[in-house]
Amino acid sequence: EVPVGCVMVYDGKGIVGDRNRVNEFKNACRHAEMGCVDQVLAWCEERGLDFESVFRAISVYVTVEPCIMCASALKYLGVKRIVFGCANERFGGVGSVLNVFDGDEHNTEVTSGVWAEQAVDLLKTFYTGENPNAPCPKPKAHRKSETTVDVVSS
């Protein structure tokens, strides 16, 4: 799994945490933030709390800038604050590619660059190593080329 972790803090306490589980669940939507969202919903249900009120008071801490999907979900839920480490230049939804918070009626506070160097180092280490959870490559079907080459001698 790409090493991205997320913690959600409510009332000064870390109430849930998760990591990317895309390969584990074979589901491209199982990002760390989405796992935390599911956990907060369960946490609220167990305690009889209104999840909408809880999300409006939550601070989200994530190692990498949330992607557009996750940032959109966090905006929809109206989280109070998002703090992240390094930018996500390919899929970032908090400014690197798109800022879903432009015109945000909830005024979500966003802080970037917190421990960014450590987050980048973690990603570099991951991408230079083997991924034991990566799917096995599929064998290519034998293909025959229809092209012929005539050798001409001069």
Q: Domain range for residue 86? A: 5-128
User: Distance between CA 67 and CA 53 in Å, rounded?
Assistant: 24
Q: Which range is least confidently modeled, 26-30, 41-45, 76-80, 136-140? A: 136-140
Residue 150 lies in a domain: no
Residue 122 lies in a domain: yes
Kindly tell me if the per-residue pLDDT of 38 is higher than 60.
Answer: yes
| 65-74 average pLDDT score | 98
Residue 99 lies in a domain: yes
Residue 83 lies in a domain: yes
Residue 17 lies in a domain: yes
Give residue 89's pLDDT band: very low, low, confident or very high (50, 70, 90): very high
Which pLDDT score, from 0 to 100, does residue 16 have?
98
Residue 51 lies in a domain: yes
Share of the chain above pLDDT 70, in %: 86
State the total domains in the chain. 1
Residue-averaged pLDDT of the chain: 90
Which pLDDT score, from 0 to 100, does residue 146 have?
61
| 105-112 average pLDDT score | 90
| 94-116 average pLDDT score | 92
Which pLDDT score, from 0 to 100, does residue 68 have?
98
Per residue in 115-138, pLDDT (tens digit) is: 999 999 999 998 888 766 666 777
Residue 140 lies in a domain: no
Which pLDDT score, from 0 to 100, does residue 145 have?
55
Q: Domain of 60: which CATH number?
A: 3.40.140.10
Residue 152 lies in a domain: no
| 57-77 average pLDDT score | 98
User: Distance between CA 33 and CA 88 in Å, rounded?
Assistant: 14
Residues 83 and 109 sit within 8 Å (Cβ to Cβ) = no
Query: Between 115 and 143, whose confidence is greater?
Result: 115
Q: Which range is least confidently modeled, 17-21, 116-120, 148-152? A: 148-152
Residues 80 and 56 sit within 8 Å (Cβ to Cβ) = yes
Name the H helices within 10-67: 22-25, 32-47, 51-56
Please return the burial class of 69, using the count of CB atoms within 10 Å of its CB with bins 0-12, 13-18 and 19+.
Answer: middle
Residues identified as active-site:
33
